[in-house]
Amino acid sequence: MTTKTELSPTARESKNAQDMQVDEVLIPRKVPSLCSARYGIALVLHLCNFTTIAQNVIMNITMVAMVNSTSPQSQFNGSSEGLPVDSFGDLSKAPKSLSAKCSVIGGQFAIWEKWGPPHERSRLCSIALSGMLLGCFSAILIGGFISETLGWPFVFYIFGGVGCVCCLLWFIVIYDDPISYPWISTSEKEYIISSLKQQVRSSQQPLPIKAVLRSLPIWSICLGCFSHQWLVSTMIVYIPTYISSVYHVNIRDNGLLSALPFIVAWVIGIVGGYLADFLLTKNFRLITVRKIATILGNLPASALIVSLPYLSSSYITATALLTLSCALSTLCQSGIYINVLDIAPRHSSFLMGASRGFSSMAPVIVPTVSGFLLSQDPEFGWRNVFFLLFAINLSGLIFYLIFGEADVQDWAKERKLTHL
């Protein structure tokens, strides 16, 4: 008994020493950050997301000018009519665009599986995904100006040309892993490889479908993403309509006012990624950081929208709340949207595409349900829409807070096959 009690503190000290060594490996002091290969890849992915969503927004905007007018230049007045239903693109009106965006996002997560150190994934993914918000901002802000001055075909030429440049950058800059990357420093390569050794990874193995379908953490991510997309869809599509009907001010007629929430959300999204990684360096648990980011991206944003009917002072206040709500919602980029990388890094690309595909049902259902509520009760219809949003958002958030995890799941770990 005495021998065991004497060895127990030593064992604990040894374990603590190993944990400190792991932390030192994961957070080196001399490895470059911003001027590095992994951040260069994040910037390229940022530009790719920018052009993907910008082209989708431009398609929705110019379609009005192409169909409803024989003189698009005179009819297109810088309006953002046809605004996408969420900050990641209009998923309900373009099935092909949906599949394209899901494949783009899934491919990015396959890259971060081998390029993203665990203590930097939040900021790297946030930098990459925030390109979608910048794409919305740019397309809404300058799309009308280009169409008025040069004609609507030049909108496609310009943004299509940017897309071709991003495609070339993708083929030149993007590599599967740091080992095969020709322009990476030795210190950075060793840092990335050593940091990813702490995770269980292996060569390709089949995805255990039954285990995935029985996984509550996976379902918590899917339902959490669905509830968040319900929030974003209602916020982007119906809040401008609400402001127009209540205050008789159509913010869609002002390109800058329509684009303002996206540029603020772009800044907050990137800052949120850095804050999440900062909390990890302060010995916060990974799941705690993910859940904090998810709470901040859901609860305040939905609460601000619910408060709109009770704030009848001016449309400026309502627009400010819309901008703040849109900005806070992007904090989920550092939470639930990259949680798949934590629990199943080897299958993150497929699972991310599946969860985004599941959540894309929200933009399809929101117009039908919200339109029904507004038609049934014109007086309290808006309150019903907003309270339904809050209830769905809170339900998905609670489910994620209960069942969400950040540890690599057993079914996602390496399985050694024994041949008899």
Distance CA 272, CA 121 (A): 12
Share of the chain above pLDDT 70, in %: 76
Over residues 148-160, the mean pLDDT reads 85
Answer with the one of 196, 229, 259 that is the final residue of a domain: 196
373, part of any domain: yes
Are 257 and 282 within one domain?
Answer: yes
| Beta carbons within 10 angstroms of residue 243's beta carbon | 21
Distance CA 168, CA 251 (A): 37
Q: Write down the pLDDT at residue 70.
A: 47
Give the structural domain span for 227: 211-413
Q: How many residues does the chain have?
A: 420
| Beta carbons within 10 angstroms of residue 278's beta carbon | 14
**Among the listed residues 302, 381, 378, 287, the one whose alpha carbon sits nearest the alpha carbon of residue 339:** 287
The mean-pLDDT minimum among 6-15, 111-120, 167-176, 308-317 falls in 6-15
Sign of CA dihedral 13, 15, 16, 22: positive
Distance CA 86, CA 93 (A): 12
Percentages (nearest 5) of helix, strand, coil residues in the chain: 80, 0, 20
Range picked from 27-41, 294-308, 404-418 for highest mean pLDDT: 294-308
2, part of any domain: no
Are 255 and 135 within one domain?
Answer: no
Are 311 and 175 within one domain?
Answer: no
Are 240 and 383 within one domain?
Answer: yes
C-alpha separations of 334 from 38, 287, 324, 370, 398 in Å: 17, 11, 17, 29, 18
Distance CA 366, CA 57 (A): 19
Are 59 and 171 within one domain?
Answer: yes
Where does residue 82 fall: left (phi above 0), alpha (psi -120 to 50 degrees), or beta otherwise?
Answer: left
**Inter-residue contact 144 to 82 (CB < 8 Å):** no
- Contacts with 178 (C-beta within 8 Å, 6 or more apart), sequence order: 37, 38, 114, 115, 184, 188, 189, 192, 193
Are 45 and 163 within one domain?
Answer: yes
- Contacts with 134 (C-beta within 8 Å, 6 or more apart), sequence order: 46, 50, 262, 263, 266
E strand spans, 252-397: none
Are 189 and 251 within one domain?
Answer: no
**Inter-residue contact 185 to 38 (CB < 8 Å):** no
Interval 101-129: pLDDT, tens? 555 666 777 888 889 888 888 999 999 99
285, part of any domain: yes
Number of H helices, E strands in the chain: 16, 0
The mean-pLDDT minimum among 106-120, 166-180, 401-415 falls in 106-120
Are 241 and 332 within one domain?
Answer: yes
Distance CA 406, CA 190 (A): 25
Answer with the one of 132, 161, 196 that is the final residue of a domain: 196
Are 173 and 226 within one domain?
Answer: no
Q: How confident is the model at residue 395 (pLDDT cuts 50, 70, 90)?
A: very high
pTM of the model: 0.79
75, part of any domain: no
287, part of any domain: yes
Are 171 and 60 within one domain?
Answer: yes
Distance CA 108, CA 75 (A): 38
Interval 29-55: pLDDT, tens? 456 666 788 999 999 999 999 998 888
Over residues 316-343, the mean pLDDT reads 90
Distance CA 232, CA 236 (A): 6
**Inter-residue contact 296 to 328 (CB < 8 Å):** yes
Average pLDDT, the chain: 79
Interval 194-244: pLDDT, tens? 888 766 455 567 888 999 999 999 999 999 999 999 998 888 778 777 877
Residue type, 116: G
Answer with the one of 196, 220, 236 that is the final residue of a domain: 196
99, part of any domain: no
146, part of any domain: yes
205, part of any domain: no
Residue type, 142: I
Are 192 and 216 within one domain?
Answer: no
C-alpha separations of 240 from 45, 56, 87, 228 in Å: 30, 20, 14, 18
- Total domains, the chain: 2
H-run or E-run covering 23: helix 2-26
Q: Write down the pLDDT at residue 252.
A: 61
CATH of residue 373: 1.20.1250.20
The mean-pLDDT minimum among 151-160, 234-243, 388-397 falls in 234-243
**Inter-residue contact 123 to 274 (CB < 8 Å):** yes
| Beta carbons within 10 angstroms of residue 288's beta carbon | 12
Are 307 and 284 within one domain?
Answer: yes
